[in-house]
Amino acid sequence: MRALSRISLTQRLTLMFVLAASSVLLVLGFVIASSVEQHFEDLDMEVLSGKMELTRQALLRVHSQQGLTEFTHQLAYSLVGHHGMEVMVIDVDDTVIFATGHAGFDPARVMRQAIQAPDQPALWQLDAQTYRGLAARLPTAMADAAGQPLQVFVAVAADIVHHQTYMQSFLQTLWLFVAGAALLTGVLGWVAVHRGLTPLRAMRRQAQGVTAQQLSQRLPVNTIPRELAELAQSLNEMLARLEVAFQRLTDFSSDIAHELRTPVSNLLTQTQVTLSRARSADDYRQILESNAEEFERMARMISDMLLLAKSDHGLVLPQREGLSLALEVRALFDYFDAVAEEKNVSLRLLGDGSVSADRLMLRRALGNLLSNALRHADPVSTVTVCVSGLEHGVEISVANQGEAIAPEHLARVFDRFFRVDPARQRSSEGTGLGLAITQSIAQAHGGTIRAASNDGVTTFTVYLPRT
């Protein structure tokens, strides 16, 4: 198998083509050889059957020993000019009554053949000659002591050396032709396969030109065979996905560099200013507390990034348990009650449902949605959480009244570090990973999340299967 893997596709297809063609030629050769051999056998049998029937009719006219003698003379005259035809007549006492010059067959074998397989062709070897013969037990007009017709054994054989010589020459020519045809088939097959794979080699050259800086390049689809067009289409779709993923990775790298540069720059600047002159213990304490806040923000960001990385590799495994969504949402309402009261926003819960989920992960996902809704809700408005039971799962929607999200931004709200308004103060808006984490948690539970924003109402809807 390992050796086969080193063979090129052209060589494999050529080899299979040659094997298939050779198999057909070999079968055809065997059929032709068998047909010719059968034809010769039919010709011999026609002659032998005629002679056997002639002998049968002649024996029926033998009424005495003198008639039997005359029969042998008549039989000898009838064989004049029939070169290669041999006849032997044997009585029941194993005595050879008549035999042509070269009919030196074993009487016992002739009699056994006549008894076991009468009128069936057999090959007899005599010295260097090969004969095809018939043997039969034929009655005469004479009667034996019991009054039954006297029978004799007759063998009729024809020399088939000329047939064998012809068949050897014919088979030699036939197999040479088969070998030459197989060789020619291999050459023509290689040419056909080599030309047939030209579009594939062209695809390889074009694929070699695809680099990280040229992911927008696509393989042609309309100018290649249909079978390869499907492969080219799949490769183009893969390149499109890679281009999108690479662009997202580039944006993510840029965003994370920007996100980390700000707190690091703040820490560095503040530390340099602090070290520029001596300060009191209270000043140092305030500076350290400020630094601690920046460190906490960076730690949250790194922890969130680690969670997202695990989610990308399927390493986030929920510890499921039966949960009442109404109870979980009310617990979150108690946690965000102070923030809602500060913004003069009321919290409302509609519906109820149960689901099998990880309690901590579910609370984090819903908490991210509530925090996002409160942050962008208009003052003196309501944030509504609606729980709806479906046939195979539940939907939890979190809606707030506020500035609508543009349609072109809805598709990217779950991207990491994406913000609808980049000018907003990042330090006041968390790490920018909340919605991405919520999406990862939903997917870890086999669910989905979607966003909609119409008429000043923004709604995030999470679907979770019951089990």
* Whole-number pLDDT of residue 424: 46
Between CA 452 and CA 330 the distance in angstroms is 24
Query: Tens digits of per-residue pLDDT, 309-357?
Result: 776 666 667 888 889 999 999 999 998 998 899 889 999 999 988 898 8
Between CA 203 and CA 235 the distance in angstroms is 10
* Whole-number pLDDT of residue 145: 66
Per-chain mean pLDDT for the chain? 82
Domains of the chain: which residue ranges? 2-168, 226-312, 321-465
The single residue listed with the structure tokens 């984490």 is 437
Q: Report helix, strand or coil for 81.
A: coil
Q: Which residues contact 383 (CB under 8 A, 6 or more apart)?
A: 340, 345, 346, 347, 348, 370, 373, 374, 377, 398, 399, 400
CATH 3.30.450 fits 2-168, yes or no: yes
CATH of 321-465, picked from 3.20.20.140, 1.10.3720.10, 3.40.47.10, 3.30.565.10, is 3.30.565.10
* Whole-number pLDDT of residue 53: 83
* Whole-number pLDDT of residue 80: 67
Q: Report helix, strand or coil for 96.
A: strand
Q: Which two tokens stand for residue 156?
A: 């009729």
Between CA 62 and CA 59 the distance in angstroms is 5
End-to-end CA distance of the chain: 45
Q: Report helix, strand or coil for 147.
A: coil
Backbone dihedral region of 455: left (phi > 0), alpha (psi from -120 to 50 degrees) or beta? left
Helix axes 359-376, 325-342, angle to 10 degrees: 30
Between CA 373 and CA 459 the distance in angstroms is 9
* Whole-number pLDDT of residue 346: 92
pTM over 0.75: no
Q: Which residues contact 59 (CB under 8 A, 6 or more apart)?
A: 71, 138, 139, 140, 141, 152, 154
* Whole-number pLDDT of residue 278: 83
Low-confidence ranges of the chain (pLDDT < 70): 1-6, 77, 80-82, 144-146, 251-252, 255, 258-259, 311-316, 419-431
The single residue listed with the structure tokens 């539970």 is 445
Report the relative pairing of strands 149-159 and 85-91 from DSSP bridges: antiparallel
Q: Which residues contact 52 (CB under 8 A, 6 or more apart)?
A: 119, 134, 136, 154, 156
* Whole-number pLDDT of residue 42: 87
Angle at 193 between CA 188 and CA 194, to 5 degrees: 95
* Whole-number pLDDT of residue 255: 66
Contact 465, 393 (CB under 8 A): yes
**Run of H or E residues at 41:** helix 9-59
Between CA 33 and CA 39 the distance in angstroms is 10
